[in-house]
Structure 1
Amino acid sequence: MKSQIALTPGAVTQFLLRLVACLVVLSFLSQMSVYFLPEVKWANFFAKAFNLDAEKNVPTLYSCLALLFSSLLLAAIANAKNLDSDHYKNHWKFLSFIFLFLCLDEAGSLHEKLMEPMRSLLNASGFLYFTWVVPIGFLVAIFLLSYSKFVFHLPVSTKKLFVAACALYIGGGIGMEMLGGYLSYTTGEGSLAYALVTTIEESLEMLGIVVFIHALISYIKTYVGGVGWNIYIPGKNSQATDYQNIGLPALSEPAHTNLLK
């Protein structure tokens, strides 16, 4: 028996948006329960499990998987570009490695290990209290400059989605993080304002990744013909084994072709 699971931009995006909405609502309710229902025994456990700003919980698992999925999609495109000897094949490869690193960083909070040494070095306070934004912001600026030509060569629809995803992710990850650092320095991380800011921050990051995944699958759909999993289940008399197959032919970018929405 054979079944096929097609990955379409609309279906995947709707599924991810629903997941993000559920996580944001659960995070908000869990944090409000800590502030307004402190006597409830399960409130702290609920908050630790679903707080978007906490580590090693349900939202962290989702973010890791979403970043890993992005890395796999980029790797698939990079492989097809490599077959075509495309001029920007290495850019796709490097993007795949970046998102793999972001996945590992999300799992281990690697960037936060920069805070203490940088805080001592800069004697930081206020908006730079979370000092990891200084070196990471510098690297992000270099990345944006080095990838400017790559972005401009993309189809118009893909370009717009990439820019929107980048704005959401960096705006949340660095912009709102700076505001969160200021609140952490002035009011403490136990304040309601800090909880709201961190919820917005993480929500923007997750939305940015959803937009990026939508852009990648739309790009694959237009220039490859789609991506899907073919699942084969052998019958009683079959000696075949179960496997999953992802087939991506070489990418060929037709001129004056826009992405399907």
Structure 2
Amino acid sequence: MKFQIPLAPGAVTKFLLRLVTCLALLSFLSQISLYFGPEYPLREYLAKVFNVDAERNLPTFYSFLALVFSSLLLGVIAYAKNLDSDRYKNHWKILSFIFLYLSLDEAGQLHEKFINPMRSLLNATGFLYFTWIVPFGCLVAIFLSSYNKFVFHLPVATRKLFVAACALYIGGAIGIEMIGGYLFSTTGMESLPYLIVATLEESLEMVGIVVFIHGLISYIKTYLGGVSWNIYIPGKNTQVTDHQNIGLPALREAANTNLLR
């Protein structure tokens, strides 16, 4: 018996957006309840589990999985491009490794290790209070300049989705983070303005990744024939030995589908 589960861009995006919305709302409400609400059982535990601005909890686990999924999709595209000896095959490979690093960073909060050394070096306050944005901002600028030609070679619909995803993610991770740093250093993390900004920052990052995933799956579906999970369950009289297979049907045959559907 064989089950095929295709990855439809629209269905995946709707599911992820609903998940992100739930995580953002639960985080904001639990933080408001923690700092401004009455006592109730498990209040501090729930605030910790759902806080998008904290580590090792449900939002962090979701973001880690979303970034790993992005890395896998980029790896699938890189594999197909490598078979065709595509001019930009290495760009896809590097992107896959970048998102793998981002997933590890999300799990271990590696970028935060730069805060104290950079703060001491720059004597930073205000908008640069979270000083990790200085070295990483430089890396982002280098990345964007080096990927300029790659972006413009993409189909128009894919390019728009990638640019939108980049704007949302970087706008949240660096732009809104700067505002959050200023509020953190002036009003503290228990103030309502900081809670709003912190929730907005993390929400933009998560939505940016959802848009990027939508763009990747749409690109695979339209230009590489689609991707699906094929699950084989052998019966008593079958000779199937592969219990699970993940493959790309018709790598070289473009599907007649709308990229944005």
The TM-score by the shorter chain falls in which range? over 0.9
User: Which residue of structure 2 aligns with residue 198 of structure 1?
Assistant: 198
Aligned pair in 2 of structure 1 residues 173, 23: CA closer, same or farther (>3 Å)? Answer: same
Give 1:237 shift.
Answer: 3.6
Percent identical: 71
Q: Which amino acid aligns with 1:243?
A: Q
Give the gaps of 5 or more residues in structure 2: none
Q: Distance in 1 between matches of 2:122 and 2:10?
A: 46
User: Which residue of structure 2 aligns with residue 245 of structure 1?
Assistant: 246
For normalisation by structure 2, the TM-score amounts to 0.95
Q: Distance in 2 between matches of 1:91 and 1:42?
A: 47
Report the count of equivalent residues.
Answer: 259
Aligned pair in 2 of structure 1 residues 244, 203: CA closer, same or farther (>3 Å)? Answer: same
Q: SS state of the match for residue 244, structure 1?
A: strand
User: Which residue of structure 1 aligns with residue 214 of structure 2?
Assistant: 214
Aligned pair in 2 of structure 1 residues 197, 251: CA closer, same or farther (>3 Å)? Answer: farther
User: Which residue of structure 2 aligns with residue 48 of structure 1?
Assistant: 48
Q: Distance in 2 between matches of 1:112 and 1:165?
A: 23
Give 1:236 shift.
Answer: 2.3
User: Which residue of structure 2 aligns with residue 108 of structure 1?
Assistant: 108
Give the gaps of 5 or more residues in structure 1: none
Q: Which amino acid aligns with 2:201?
A: E
TM alignment of 1:219-230, pairs within 5 A = 219-230=219-230
Give 1:25 shift.
Answer: 1.2
Q: Which amino acid aligns with 1:72?
A: L
TM alignment of 1:1-261, pairs within 5 A = 1-238=1-238, 240-247=241-248, 249-250=250-251, 259-261=259-261
Larger deviation, residues 148-157 vs 235-244: 235-244
Q: Distance in 1 between matches of 2:191 and 2:34?
A: 11
Deviations 1:108-149 (A, max 9, x none): 000000000000000000000000000000000000000010
Deviations 1:184-241 (A, max 9, x none): 1111112121111100000000000000000000000110121101100011244535
For normalisation by structure 1, the TM-score amounts to 0.95
Larger deviation, residues 77-86 vs 37-46: 37-46
Q: Distance in 2 between matches of 1:209 and 1:141?
A: 19
Aligned pair in 2 of structure 1 residues 243, 132: CA closer, same or farther (>3 Å)? Answer: same
Aligned pair in 2 of structure 1 residues 120, 248: CA closer, same or farther (>3 Å)? Answer: farther
Q: Distance in 1 between matches of 2:31 and 2:229?
A: 39
What RMSD, in angstroms, separates the aligned Cα atoms of the two structures?
1.7
CA contact (8 A) 1:157 1:258 kept: no
Give 1:22 shift.
Answer: 0.9
Give 1:251 shift.
Answer: 5.2
Give 1:35 shift.
Answer: 2.0
Q: SS state of the match for residue 6, structure 2?
A: strand
CA contact (8 A) 2:225 2:252 kept: no
CA contact (8 A) 1:227 1:246 kept: yes
Aligned pair in 2 of structure 1 residues 258, 87: CA closer, same or farther (>3 Å)? Answer: farther
Q: Distance in 2 between matches of 1:73 and 1:155?
A: 17
